[in-house]
Every structure is written in structure tokens, then in C-alpha cells.
Amino acid sequence: MKNIAAYIIALAAFGAFFLVMDVFLFNAQGLSFLYRG
Amino acid sequence: MESRLKRIFFTAALAAFPLLFLLPDIFSGCCAFAAETARAFGPAPILSPGDYPKVTGVNPRMFIWMAAQMHLWFAAFVLAVPIFVLLLEIAGVIKKDKRYDKVAYEFLRVSLTAYSITAITGGLLLLGLIVFYPDLMKYLSGIFGPTMLLYALFFFVESAALYLYYYGWKPMSAGNLKWAHIGVGLILNASGTTLMFIANAWVTFMMTPAGVDIAGVFDGNIWHAVRNHLWGPMNLHRFIANIAYGGSIVAAYAAYRFLGAKGSDEKAHYDWMGYTANLVAIGALLPLPFAGYWLTAEIYAYSQQMGITLMGGLFAWLFIIQAVLIGALFLAANYYLWCGFKRGVNGERYYKYVKYIAFVIAATFLVWFTPHTLILTPEEASSLGGQYHPLLGPLGLMPAKNIAVNIMLLFTFLSFLLYRRAHRTPTVKWARIGTAIEAALFTAAIANIIWLGVYYGYFTNSVYKVASSVPQVATTLFVIVACLVIEYFMHRKAEVSELKWGSVPDRSQYALFLIAVSFTWLMGLMGFVRSAIRQHWHVYSVMRDNSPDAFTPSIAYAAKTVSIGTIIFMAIIAFIFWLSHIGQESGAGDE
């Protein structure tokens, strides 16, 4: 049970981390993370 | 006191290493000053077919192609081996483990025979160029003459350092002399790498000339010509690739010796040697695509036409062959790791995961080499409704391939993690939670890679499509670093059992042969592409190739030529392995 909880918490944490990283790396290339066409 | 001296010497030697890399800059600067003040330069010659000498029965392009290719393969090998020989020697001193020293010395002995063949093929290439392309050589030496002299000087330094390094191995094996020996190794590597940098300047100038005007008139500053657009990326790409290549050839040597080993000790030794060399090869292979990306970006930036010829035209098909070879290489690397599970006491427990990893790697491999366009008859195209397959067509685009490559890298890393765990039992209480965190990290990373590739690759514009590959790569790198950190803390006080070296099945060794052959083939094919995108130019857009061979050969012709070259090279390498083996048996090479 502990392992499943750790998995879910870590999944949420790393998901959030990757999202922030994506935003940062698009910005670093002069692009907005949100594509506006 | 002695250890303090060692530290001082070692620090000084390490500090001297980057300085040695600056030597060509310093020399080039001096040469530029001399050249600027000495003479005026004419335009590039305009040649006619009659200006190219003919030798009955010899095709000039084929002669140069083969000589250059052989020289490059051997040169890559002999430049790379001293790099990790030195690293192993330092590791042996730091870890106080004689095994490293023994293997390092054996690596060096294997490469020693290859040095003379490198020089012979280099001589053949030079003579061929002088005989068949005298006007081109005159033009190039008019610009690069001083660097050619510098090349000769560094060749002398490298040879002297090599002999001192090899023959001094045993006399300089203890005390401060050992550190002096490491210093000689540093000089050997610095001079060898500088040699490559100088030759790279000539090659890259032919692709992206700088320091000359549109007619090819040289401005007199040699540094402008040396530091052309592709020089930096080519230096980096070849430097990393050489390490990967050298590792793969030495691993193949170890496999050869493993299969012929008589006793269990010998088998264990060559198993360890093969594993170490392969680890170096695959470790260097991982950052290679990023150096290749830089090289290609610079080609596009210099000439979009050259870039499109490279990846959007005829040569795109060679990139499909490249994908097949690299995919085969990754499959072989994974297979070798899976066989290696047997070396650890816990290895059996991880076999059940192999089928899933194999499935993912095979699936990503298939996506990677799916072509965008298909070679179809008119009837087939008509029944398909166009040139693109409705389902497989999207898989032929770069976003799908970026997803596939990143996932393939992650699963290869997973095989490596399982291999490491095969002989370690963690004692920390949070071991299972740590594993769950690693699993979550892999899941989040794969989701991120797929979403970036699918959304930005297919539903936005090209700028976003290209830009999304950066966070994809960053995700993969983050997983590798983060998992290694978690693994380090998890296994810091783990129960570590002795690895059973030599216990792997014989069939695992054939994977090492496959990796070496794939590397060789890849270098030949992609080297041809890189050179051929100049098309009908000796020096792109400056000096036209008007010889009868100034046409782009068909892919089949190029593939056959490179394949024959690969067979010849591997035959010579097998001969070198055999020579090294009999040399060792008679004791000639050891003492």
C-alpha cells in the first residue's frame, strides 16, 4: 500500500516537474508553451 | 610528501591538458600572421576534364574513397584507444586495482599494430590525392600549407609519446614515475586529438569554406579558413564518436579472446574487458545524437540547399539505413546486458522483465526506421491513394522518431539499471519505495515525451515541432541522472556479491561483434552522406569538380562500396587481433 501511495505521489510530483521544465525550455527558445496558431 | 608530490604533478598534468588543446590556435595564429604578410592569393582554379590525370585501370574516386575510408576507420580506432587507456590507467591508480592497469596495457597493445596501418592508409590517401587531384591539392595547400607542417610536427610528437607510453609502461609502473607515465599519456592524447582537429579543418573547409571570397581568393588569415562553420561541431562529433568506436572494437577483441579462452581465469578476464569496453562504447554513444544534431543544424545554417540534400532528398534513404543499424546496435547492447544478468546472484529475478523491454525496444525500432515516402509502382500508389500510407505515413515523420529514440534510450537505461541490481541487495528500509519512485519517474517521463511529440509534432507548426525535441531530450537525461542518484543512495550500503565474470553464455559475445560491425558500417555510410552533399564541388560553391566522376552515385552503389570497405576493414582488424594474440602467446608483446 505504501508503495502504491509513493508511486502516485511521485507520479504527480514528476509530472508537475516535467510540465514546469517544458514551459521553461520553450521559453528559453523564445516560444510560448501555449501554442496560439 | 610523496602523495603530495603526486597530487601536484597530477593537478599540473590535468591543467596542462586543456592548454595542449589550445596549441593549434596558437600555432594557427602565428601562421596566419606569417601568411598575411608573405603573399597574395589567386582564385580557385577552373578545371576541365582533361586537367585530371588518368591511370589506366584505376578509378580515381574509388581509390580516394577507399583510402580515405580505411584511414578514417583506423585513425578513429587509434585515437580513441589511448583516451580510455589513460582513463583506465588513472582508475587503476586511484582504485589501487591492478586489473585496470592490465587491461589498459592490453588495449594499447592491440592498437599498436593499427598505428602503422593508419599511417600506411594515410600515405595512400595523400599519394592518391596528389596523383589524381593535383590542382585541388595545390589550391588547398596554398591555403592550409602551414597547418600541414603543423600536422607533421604533431604526428612526430604523437609517435614519440606513443612509443614512450607503450615501452615505458612497465619501467614507469611505480611511485612518481607512474604519474610521469600518466603525463606522457596526456601528451599522447592531446597531440592525437590535435592531429584530428587539424585534418578536420581541411575537410570541413571543403564543405563550408570560410576565409575566401566567391571566386575562392583566400583572405590570407588561415584562422578564418580553419574556423569554418563545421569545424567545431565536426571536432566534437568525431571526438565522441571515436571513443564509442574504439570501445566497440576493443569489446569485439575481448569477445574474440573470450570465445577462444582456455581456462576460467582467462574467460573471466576477457568477459570483464568486453563489458568495460562496451560500457565505454555505449556511454559515448548516448550523447552522440546531440553532437550530430549540432553538426546538421550548422549544415542547414550554412546552406539550406545542402541541408535539404542531406535529409530531405535522395540521402534521406540512407538515414533509414542508419536507423536500422543503430536500432540493431541498441538491440545488441540490450541483449548483451540481459545475458549479463547471469553474472549476479540476483540476476534470475529480473529475467521476467526482459520480454517487456524487448517488446518496447522492437516496437520503437520499427517506428524509427519507418520511411516517410514509399517506393511504389503507379498501381500501388493508386490503390494506396497517394505516396503516403494512411497509417504508417505519420510514423515516418521526425516527431514519431524522436518519441521512439527517447523511449529506446530510456529502456536501454532500464536494462542497465536491472543489470546493476543483479548483484546488489539493498539494505535501506526505503528500498521498495525508492523503486516505486523510479517507476513513477519512468512513467511520467514517457508520458511527457509522448505528449510533447504528438501534440507539438502533429498539431502545431514546424518551429514548435523542432523546439519540442529539446524538452524531450532533457526529460531523458533527467531520468538517467535522477535514477543514478536514487540508485547510489539506495545501494550505498547494499550487500554486494561478487560478479561471476566469465559465466555469461558464449552467444552474448556475438552481440559485441554485431555492435563493432554496426559502428563501422554506420561510419562509412554516414561519412559518405556527409561528403557527398557537396555534390559536384571540390570546395562547395568555390571550386567546381569537373572530373568525369563528378556525379552523385546511386544509393545502391554507395552502400555496396561501403559494405565492401567494411568487410576489408574487419578482415584487417581480425588479422590484427590474431597478431596480437600470437604476440602475447609468445610473450613478445608483454615484456
Contact in structure between B515 and B251 (CB atoms under 8 Å): yes
3-state SS assignment for residue B539: strand
Pair B152, B288 in one domain? yes
The number of distinct structural domains making up chain B is: 2
Yes or no, beta carbons of A3 and B432 under 8 Å apart: yes
Contact in structure between B240 and B76 (CB atoms under 8 Å): no
Residue B467 with chain A: CB contacts under 8 Å: 26, 29, 31
Percentage of chain B beyond pLDDT 90 is 54
Residue A7 with chain B: CB contacts under 8 Å: 436-437, 439-440
Domain stops at, among B492, B521, B549: B492
CA-to-CA dists, residue B254 to B113, B260, B276, B326, B469, angstroms: 16, 10, 10, 22, 37
Residue partners of B317: CB distance under 8 A and separation at least 6: B371, B555
Give me the residue from B445, B456, B464 closest to A18, CB to CB: B445
Pair B296, B163 in one domain? yes
Residue of B nearest to A11 (CA): B440
φ and ψ of B213, to 5 deg? -90, -170
pLDDT at residue B1 is higher than 50: no
State residue B591's pLDDT score: 40
User: Partners of B425 in the beta sheet?
Assistant: B495
State residue B32's pLDDT score: 53
Pair B459, B515 in one domain? no
pLDDT band at B131 (very low <50, low <70, confident <90, very high): very high
Give me the residue from B436, B437, B464 closest to A31, CB to CB: B464
Pair B465, B508 in one domain? no
Question: To probe the interface with A, which of B468, B472, B480, B481 has the most A CB atoms within 10 Å?
Answer: B468
Q: Is residue B333 part of a domain?
A: no
Pair B398, B359 in one domain? yes
pLDDT band at B263 (very low <50, low <70, confident <90, very high): confident
Give me the residue from A6, A15, A35 closest to B444, CB to CB: A15
Q: Is residue B444 part of a domain?
A: yes
Contact in structure between B76 and B241 (CB atoms under 8 Å): yes
For residue B573, give the C-alpha cell. Answer: 582488424
Domain stops at, among B463, B492, B521: B492
Domain stops at, among B475, B492, B509: B492
Contact in structure between B82 and B76 (CB atoms under 8 Å): no
Yes or no, beta carbons of A14 and B445 under 8 Å apart: yes
Mean pLDDT of all residues in B554-570:
94
State residue B387's pLDDT score: 77
Please, where are the H alpha helices in B96-174?
98-132, 134-167
Pair B484, B505 in one domain? no
Pair B20, B119 in one domain? yes
Which DSSP string do the residues of B356-375 spell out, in sequence order?
HHHHHHHHHHHHHT--SS--
The residues in A 7-36 lying below 8 A from B, measured between CB atoms, are 7-11, 13-15, 17-19, 21-22, 25-26, 28-29, 31, 35
State residue B24's pLDDT score: 53
Pair B114, B239 in one domain? yes
Yes or no, beta carbons of A31 and B474 under 8 Å apart: no
State residue B589's pLDDT score: 44
Contact in structure between B361 and B334 (CB atoms under 8 Å): yes
pLDDT digits (tens, 9 = 90+) for B229-248: 999 999 999 999 998 998 89
Length of chain A: 37
Task: Identify each DSSP E strand in B243-399 by its residue range.
Answer: none
Q: Is residue B384 part of a domain?
A: no
**Average pLDDT over all residues of chain B:** 88
A1 and chain B in contact, CB less than 8 A: no
Pair B476, B510 in one domain? no
Q: Is residue B383 part of a domain?
A: no
Distance from C-alpha of B353 to C-alpha of B342, rounded to nearest angstrom: 14
State residue B201's pLDDT score: 96
Contact in structure between B128 and B64 (CB atoms under 8 Å): yes
Sign of CA dihedral B228, B71, B325, B408: negative
Q: Is residue B380 part of a domain?
A: no
Distance from C-alpha of B259 to C-alpha of B577, rounded to nearest angstrom: 13
Percentage of chain B beyond pLDDT 70 is 92
Residue partners of B572: CB distance under 8 A and separation at least 6: B117
Contact in structure between B169 and B181 (CB atoms under 8 Å): yes
CA distance A1 to chain B (A): 10
In this prediction the pTM is 0.84
Contact in structure between B364 and B405 (CB atoms under 8 Å): yes
CA distance B18 to chain A (A): 30
Q: Is residue B226 part of a domain?
A: yes
B228: exposed, middle or buried (Cβ count in 10 Å: 0-12, 13-18, 19+): buried
CA-to-CA dists, residue B561 to B348, B521, B528, B565, B566, angstroms: 44, 11, 10, 6, 9
Pair B453, B534 in one domain? no
Mean pLDDT of all residues in B158-181:
91
Question: To probe the interface with A, which of B430, B437, B473 has the most A CB atoms within 10 Å?
Answer: B437
For residue A12, give the C-alpha cell. Answer: 504527480
Give me the residue from B432, B443, B452 closest to A22, CB to CB: B452
Task: Identify each DSSP E strand in B157-217 by its residue range.
Answer: none
Yes or no, beta carbons of B467 and A31 under 8 Å apart: yes
Pair B354, B303 in one domain? no
Distance from C-alpha of B128 to C-alpha of B123, rounded to nearest angstrom: 8
Residue partners of B404: CB distance under 8 A and separation at least 6: B364, B365, B367, B368
pLDDT at residue B28 is higher than 60: no
Q: Is residue B119 part of a domain?
A: yes
Contact in structure between B258 and B274 (CB atoms under 8 Å): yes
State residue B541's pLDDT score: 93
User: Partners of B544 in the beta sheet?
Assistant: B537
Residue partners of B484: CB distance under 8 A and separation at least 6: none
pLDDT at residue B346 is higher than 60: yes
Q: Is residue B339 part of a domain?
A: no
φ and ψ of B520, to 5 deg? -60, -45
Range of the domain at B423: 345-371+389-492
Length of chain B: 591
State residue B3's pLDDT score: 52
What's the DSSP call for residue B453?
Answer: I
User: Partners of B424 in the beta sheet?
Assistant: B496
Pair B261, B396 in one domain? no
What's the per-residue H, E or C state across B212-247?
ECCCCCECCCHHHHHCCCCHHHHHHHHHHHHHHHHH
Mean pLDDT of all residues in B426-430:
88
3-state SS assignment for residue B218: strand
Structure-model confidence comparison of residues B316 and B562, the more confident one: B562
Residue A19 with chain B: CB contacts under 8 Å: 448
What's the DSSP call for residue B553?
Answer: P
Give me the residue from A7, A21, A35 closest to B474, CB to CB: A21
State residue B312's pLDDT score: 79
First to last CA, chain A: 45
CA distance A34 to chain B (A): 10
| Dihedral of the alpha carbons of B352, B356, B357, B359, in degrees to the nearest 10 | 140
Give me the residue from A10, A18, A21 closest to B436, CB to CB: A10
Highest mean pLDDT among B317-321, B545-549, B577-581: B545-549
